[in-house]
Amino acid sequence: MGVFVFLPLVLPLTALPVAHLAALHLHPRVATRLLSALAAVLAVCSTLCLGLLVVVGTAQLPGNPLPDAWSDPEVREAVPYDEIAGKAAIVALAAVAVSCASAAWRHRRVRRRAQEALAGLPGGELAVLTDEAPYAYALPGPGPTRTGDGAGAGDREGAGDGTGAAAGGRGRIVVSTGMLACLDDQERDALIAHERAHLAGRHHRFLLTVRLAARANPLLRPLRTAVAYTSERWADEDAARVTGERTVVARAIGKAALVSRGTPAPTLAGFAAPSPGPVPRRVAALLGPAPTAVHWPSVRSAVGLAVWAAAAGTVGSALSSANAMVTLFLVLQAATPF
C-alpha cells in the first residue's frame, strides 16, 4: 500500500471546495445535511486509520498483547516507517479521544445547566430571562408540551399558529430582555420564528457532528464553519417563509449582530453572531430572492460544472480513504490467527 495508507488522514482537504460551493449555491437545508454527512464519514475514516496505524506500528514492540502475526514483515510493509507512524498515531489517537470527549462533555454540561436554570420559569416554548445582555438561542432537549400563560408574546403567537406546543416538546427558545428591547414587534416575531426553525430542524445535532469531526481531524474545520453558516441560513429562510417578511428578518439579524454576545456553546444555534463573520452574507441573501433549487446546479452551467467537479473529487477521495482503511484492515485480518 505504501504511502496510500495515510490517505484517510489528509484527503479531508479535498472537501474544502465542496464546503465553499455548497454554502454558496445549494439550498441551505441540503448543504447542511450534505456537509454534515461528509464531515462524519471523513472523520470516521481518519480515526479508524489512526487506530489501525497504532496496531501495525506497535505490534512488534516487546510486551504488546497483540497477536504475533501482526508484527510479521508482510504486515509491517503495508505501512512506511511503521514504528514512527505507529508511535505518532498513538499520540494522535489519544488527542482525538480526549478532544472529542471534552467537546461532547462540554455540550452536555452546557445543555444541562441551561435546562436547570430554566426549570423555575413558567412553562412554554419561550423562556425570557431578565438580563440586560442581549442574546437569543435555541436550547434543545425535552421541554414542555404545552404553552404556558406567562411565557410571553412569542408563546401566544406560537399557540396561535399551532406550532408552539410541538416546538416546546423539542426544546425551548431562550431570549433575554436585553435582546427583546433591541427589536420591534415584527423583529421579535422573526427572532421566534428563527429559533423555532432551529428546534424543528434539530440543528444542534448537525453542529455537534461537525464539531466532533473537526476535533477528530483538524482538516475538517472548514466544514464546521460552513455548517455553522448554512444552518443559520436554513433557519433564516424558514423564518422568512413563516413571517412572509424577508426584509424584517434581515433587519432583525443585522440589529442582533451588533449587540449579541452569542451562545453559551458553539453547538447551540443562536440568532446572530457577535462578530461580523457571515452575518452580512446572511442579510444579503435575505434581501435577495428566496432559494428555490434543492438540487445541485445543472452541469451545463459554469457554477454547476465547478460544483459537480468538486463533488466528484470529494466522493473519490472518500472512497480512496475507505479503500485504504479496508485494505489495511484485511491485511491485519489475514495475519490474525483467529
Q: What is the mean pLDDT of residues 123-139?
A: 85
Q: Write down the pTM of the prediction.
A: 0.79
Give the pLDDT of residue 80.
61
> Rounded CA gap, 204 and 185, in Å?
27
Give the pLDDT of residue 97.
93
Give the pLDDT of residue 332.
63
pLDDT tens, residue by residue, 151-195: 333 443 443 343 343 344 578 888 889 889 989 999 999 999 999
Grid coordinates given for 30: 441540503
Q: How many CA atoms lie within 13 A of 114 on its CB side?
A: 26
Q: Which residue has the higher pLDDT, 144 or 244?
A: 244
Give the pLDDT of residue 162.
38
Using only C-alpha atoms, the chain has a radius of gyration, in whole angstroms, of 24
> Rounded CA gap, 34 and 39, in Å?
9
Task: Looking at 260-301, list the stretches that DSSP marks H as alpha helix, in order from N- to C-terminal side.
Answer: 279-287
Give the pLDDT of residue 191.
92
Bin 328: left if φ > 0, else alpha if -120 < ψ < 50, else beta. alpha
Neighbours of 157 (CB within 10 A): 20
- What are the residue boundaries of the structural domains of the chain, listed by start? 2-335
Is residue 254 within 8 A of residue 278, CB to CB? The reply is: no
Strands 171-176 and 136-140 turn out to be antiparallel
Task: Annotate 175-207 with b (16+ C-beta within 10 A) or e (fewer).
Answer: bbebbbebbeeebbbbbbbbbbbbbbbebbebb
pLDDT tens, residue by residue, 179-235: 899 899 999 999 999 999 999 999 999 999 999 999 999 999 989 999 999 999 999
Is residue 235 within 8 A of residue 197, CB to CB? The reply is: yes
Helices then strands, counting H and E runs in the chain, come out as 14, 3
Cα angle, residue 167 at apex, residues 162 and 170 outer, rounded to 5°: 155
Q: Which range, 49-63, 199-213, 285-299, is most confident?
A: 199-213
Bin 202: left if φ > 0, else alpha if -120 < ψ < 50, else beta. left
Give the pLDDT of residue 203.
92
> Rounded CA gap, 336 and 263, in Å?
50
Q: Which residue has the higher pLDDT, 12 or 64?
A: 12
